Structure 1
Amino acid sequence: MAEIISRLPEPYIVLIQLCCFLLFSCSYAQDQAPVTTEGSKEILQQISEGVTGQVKTRSGLAIIGAMMTPTSRSIDGPPIPEIAITTNEHGRYEWPLPPGSYQMSVFADGYQKHTLNVDVKADQVTTLDFILDKHP
């Protein structure tokens, strides 16, 4: 097999390498898929440290499927286990995060992005609620 590949023009070799990379990346991404809190009350009772809360409209309605993304506020901050999570049918979310300082952002269709700072302490769950305004 290596002999066949060595006779291919360089663009084909690069293409084969790219395909292999994408194949392995996709399988890794499936193993590391973002976690959602789709209505599972058991999950909401399991974390010992992190952030939990609710995303609502200014009138108090829950926003379903809002996307939450954290960013570490320090250069040497802890790794973040998922890229993003979404709120459940009650607008609630829960995110187990290691202790550290984060900037939590929430995005939802038809609403303005909102960002808040939060400090996660060891063995504590911090509540962080968001109220989103509609796009003008």
Structure 2
Amino acid sequence: MRALLPAAVLLLALAGCGDRPADAGGAAAPPPATAARGEVAGVVRTADGRPLGGALVVPRSLDTPAEPIPELAVVTDRAGGYRWTLPPGRYELSVRLGERRPVPARTVTVEAGRTATVDW
């Protein structure tokens, strides 16, 4: 039971975190216009072509000043797919999964209102 307490406290603390500030009445502010963002989507596969589920896709902004990135990473689904909404800009995307050998990073330009495809 004691081992679960720190995890429960962390979950409760994170439950109040979000990307939208509350207004004075406590209601969440409306989300930013989706036209001001773009998407990156794709599929991560192993060297022999099998989908790689559970991998982390990690971005790094290449812009100066660097674009703020809303999440640290996204996780691929069972079919190796991922989809991510990001502010417009240039990014380097890398894939990580435990002790597997790293794969080369990919560079992508995200444009507002468009979806860029980056596969591995």
More helix by share: 1
Of residues 44, 50, 54, the one that matches 1:55 is: 44
TM-score, reference length from structure 1? 0.61
CA RMSD for the aligned pairs? 2.7
Identify the residue that residue 55 of structure 2 maps to in structure 1.
66
TM-score, reference length from structure 2? 0.68
- Offset, 1:129: 0.2
Letter in 1 for 2:113: D
* Distance across 2 between alignment mates of 1:67 and 1:81: 15
- Offset, 1:29: 7.2
The gaps in structure 1 that reach 5 residues or longer are: 1-22, 34-45, 131-136
- Offset, 1:109: 3.0
* Distance across 1 between alignment mates of 2:15 and 2:73: 13
Q: Highest CA radius of gyration, 1 or 2?
A: 1
The gaps in structure 2 that reach 5 residues or longer are: 1-8, 20-33
Letter in 1 for 2:94: S
Of residues 106, 110, 113, the one that matches 1:120 is: 110
Letter in 2 for 1:127: T
Identify the residue that residue 86 of structure 1 maps to in structure 2.
75
